[in-house]
Amino acid sequence: MSSCRILQLRQSSQFFAVTRFPAFFKPPISTICFSSSNFRSGTGAVSSCNTLRRMNAHGVVPDVSKVTVVDDPSLLEEKAAAIRLAGPAKLQVIADFDATLTKYIVNGRRGDSSHGLLRQENAEYDAKRLALYQYYHPLEFSPSIPIEEKTKLMEEWWGKTHNLLIEGGLTYDSIKESVAASEIAFREGVVELFEFLEERDIPVLIFSAGLADIIEEVLRQKIHRPFKNVRIVSNRMEFNSDGRLISFKGKLIHSLNKNEHALDMAGPLHEHLGDSNGLNNLGASVKDRTNVLLLGDHLGDLRMSDGLDYSTRISVGFLNDNIENNIAGYSKAFDVLYLNDAPMWGVVNLVSQLWPTHN
């Protein structure tokens, strides 16, 4: 890395980044700096540049073991200046859900994904869906399968899974019970980020190849409030009057077409969510927002902005696991990278410095 070196402490599995920050970017409390003069590989000698500071008016002190990597500070500063100049009316936020908005580790173990937490009333169908996962998941990440063939395989996998949910008689009550029993939680700072963006009428598009109904239920049970600026772009279910799944709305959204093209495929928000927040017309309005803040935890999430002719994009990555093997590629691909299942406070800090006041 040109402007970043990585140090692994002998006493800890955490990684710390030696990073130069752009002038506009005040490193969040989650950043620990090491001066080059004091850098000793494996010693963990911390210089006096510890940036332990409260990030915002909430008075919350995040975990200082979490770190920030900015590989090209000049480029980040250039992008931030362009987005700031264009104003909030030109910005949209595109976010992955699992392991991006949600934590990677919950209560000491790998947290549930929005799709993985689902338990049907008939356990036989849970086993069948698991068998599909075990067969198709390796194919999804196989480097030897051409993209055209892989796309067909993903359509096949998602289609079979959706059919099992219908055949197994999935009910909305099962979704609510599954979420209540799950190990899924949002990163600290997600609510504050949504609030900041809502105050400035900046839309947040949550892209997921999973199930919108489950994500909505997670939001309902874990955050307990709606946000008028948030829309979920994912596969949406159709339930009958008894609350039993009968079909899916719109076209299939899978891991390889999870991008802005999917806006036209996503179904409307459920009536039981009110639909009073005006998000049904969001698809057209975001096309005019040509600046993007993208949040993801995989390199493939960078494709979520495909289909949008954007002017400027700041990409923020969360590298939650296998850091040593992936940090070089991730730090080059993302403008800002957060390590070790970091909280969302760094992103809150970033956007608050774009527009610190709200008129």
Tens digits of per-residue pLDDT, 110-139? Answer: 999 998 899 988 899 999 999 999 999 999
Write down the residue that tokens 């002190």 correspond to. Answer: 61
Of the two residues 274 and 73, the one the predictor is more confident about is 73
- One domain for residues 150 and 214: no
Of the two residues 295 and 4, the one the predictor is more confident about is 295
pLDDT at residue number 264: 66
Question: What is the token pair recorded at 336?
Answer: 């800002």
- Residue 84 exposure: Cα atoms within 13 Å on the Cβ side: 16
Residue where a domain terminates, one of 147, 179, 211: 179
Could you say which of 98, 213, 335, 341 is catalytic? 98
- Residue 114 exposure: Cα atoms within 13 Å on the Cβ side: 27
- One domain for residues 293 and 207: yes
Q: Cα 79–85–88 angle (5° rounding)?
A: 95
Number of domains in the chain: 2
pLDDT at residue number 358: 66
**What is the pLDDT of the chain when averaged over all its residues?**
80
Q: Predicted confidence band at 21 (pLDDT cuts at 50, 70, 90)?
A: low
CB 255 within 8 A of CB 136: no
- One domain for residues 172 and 271: no
**3 state DSSP class of 45:** coil
Could you say which of 71, 72, 96, 341 is catalytic? 96
Indicate the helix (H) or strand (E) that contains 17: strand 15-19
Write down the residue that tokens 């030109």 correspond to. Answer: 90
User: In the predicted model, what is the mean pLDDT of residues 85-103?
Assistant: 96
Residue where a domain terminates, one of 179, 207, 230: 179
| 35 occurs within a structural domain | no
Q: Read off the CATH number of the domain in which 162 is found.
A: 1.10.150.340
| 157 occurs within a structural domain | yes
User: In the predicted model, what is the mean pLDDT of residues 199-226?
Assistant: 93
| pLDDT over 90 (residue 58) | no
Mark whether 288 is an active-site residue: no
- One domain for residues 281 and 334: yes
- One domain for residues 115 and 248: no
- One domain for residues 167 and 250: no
Residue-range definition of the domain harbouring residue 158: 110-179
What percentage of the chain exceeds 70 in pLDDT?
74
Strand-pair partners of 93: 204, 293
| Residue 335 identity (one-letter amino acid) | D
- One domain for residues 314 and 348: yes
Mark whether 98 is an active-site residue: yes
Q: Read off the CATH number of the domain in which 329 is found.
A: 3.40.50.1000
CA–CA separation, 36 and 5 (whole Å): 9
Q: Predicted confidence band at 141 (pLDDT cuts at 50, 70, 90)?
A: confident
User: In the predicted model, what is the mean pLDDT of residues 60-88?
Assistant: 82
| 48 occurs within a structural domain | no
CB 96 within 8 A of CB 301: yes
Question: What is the token pair recorded at 273?
Answer: 């969510």
| pLDDT over 90 (residue 279) | no
- One domain for residues 161 and 130: yes
CA–CA separation, 255 and 139 (whole Å): 12
| 56 occurs within a structural domain | no
DSSP state of 275: -
Question: What is the token pair recorded at 290?
Answer: 């040509």
- One domain for residues 314 and 266: yes
- One domain for residues 242 and 288: yes
Backbone φ and ψ for 54, nearest 5 degrees, come out as -70, 140
